Structure 1
């Protein structure tokens, strides 16, 4: 099960809605629709659940009530319900910080008593839920108290994930997740990509200008947990590497078709154990890419030597692992291109070299041989 939550109400959304004179739901739904459209283009595995905050207010209020009943929450002077951090001795375990040594740390809000924007009734007064409580509630409700893998940006480790974890410690005396995955920031040569600082490198622009496959290759090339540098120059260079994989696959398919008059590939190839070992080693994606590059090199050697059996084996392995990683391999062998290959083979067999050379030039331009 894969849960991807949608924060469809917060102060930023409320302020934007008031600025434009529309409902908060209109702002949230517009951005959510655009976001999910991009996920589809990127061939991302679709979440099992995409819960929205606005649809789980009662569940969130139940979480807050449980915390209050156990003595982990209280109402402060402003009328907000806050979490009593001093009751969690393990606070800081995720971000490797000692609660006693933390400065400027304060009890965080579970329910904000507020009057403007979208609000809900509660026994603590009209208001909105706190961000940390929203996210914990989704995990508690949909994943039965805790989750195996919890992901997010490195900037969320503290305080957001630490505060989510505190909920689970308070209610169940257990960590919220078995494995935490924190993603490093992207930056451009002139600084970190930041919406607040108007330093934008939009995903939509990259997808429209290049391809979803290119983004997958970019992330393979970089460790997920460290900062990564991105620019259009970097993507241009990487696009050549992506094309080298696709061209190798096209050449292999052509070689098989020319030899057998058909393209029949074993689809039962298993995932390589060395490949898996890299993924099991803290998602060592750069090593995965190196492994794929070596496999591509081996495939090209077998094409050069016209070793059809080896071509089939290496092609099947390369396609299987690329597709397993979410790459979409385009089919460049349309009927008209297959006919070109057949005609080229016929001219060669008849020693009609001039005609064969003309077709060969076309096939080279199409990157099929």
Structure 2
């Protein structure tokens, strides 16, 4: 059931318009493994810890927040999933931050956990914590400082000590010092462990790619030829996650013989599909199962990759033309390439008089 929050009037019209499609889509739900990939990538359990005014007691509430990436397709897909399973939610649109779905009732969090059981590798731990250890130890209206310390400690362990909790959450040591808590006598809260898989369904990987993939041209200087090189890149990144989720894309690529590069810590998904040949192999494997970014991946694979394979980017005009045509699929809403110095405008100045700018160039055939 859709519940509109008090700020609904601030939600962009297109945000409302996309949700109007939800009811008509419910008869054609995608495989649960696809939604698991999306929710593992975009959802995070939230803990609202507020100190009671004039007291040393605290009020704590848990909820689930699902980002939309300000993507109309993802908004519809997530709304479709929640509506189809009669899960109540608010939807928030905030200036200078991200849009998100907010699931606030424990019964609905339990329902999502049941739906994702056996499919999710990341969110399932947080949901299991809410309906398990959190409910057992902290499901009261008022908490004393020692209990809050135990909860904060558990949250940081649940999120792998990443600074992903709201900024007003103190570090456990800071909190213990402030309220003079003797931590030696406090029991540690058990955190759901999570499990690894031998393989991942392609639908699950497609959900991750739809949720997180950023398409961009990687540009670097070189001492050869025109002085610059360019390669197409698909980057998938999310920090503070379970190692099973962090290695999902890499493991899928390994099992299917696809080229990829993964880097960073074990609790960070940071996988790159780089180069025309790698993307040309990856796209037909995963693209048919994608929804939100299917058209972008198809454009990259069918329209741009052949031009890389033919060497068009080795000339100044060719590199510039490819960069211009790349702009339509760069994920600016996620901050990707916003600060890149290698823009079409940069090369218009760098190669002034040597290339035809976008408003003068002949259409690419």
User: Is TM-score (shorter-chain normalized) higher than 0.5?
Assistant: no
Q: If the length of structure 1 is used for normalisation, what is the TM-score?
A: 0.27
Q: Rg bigger for which structure?
A: 1
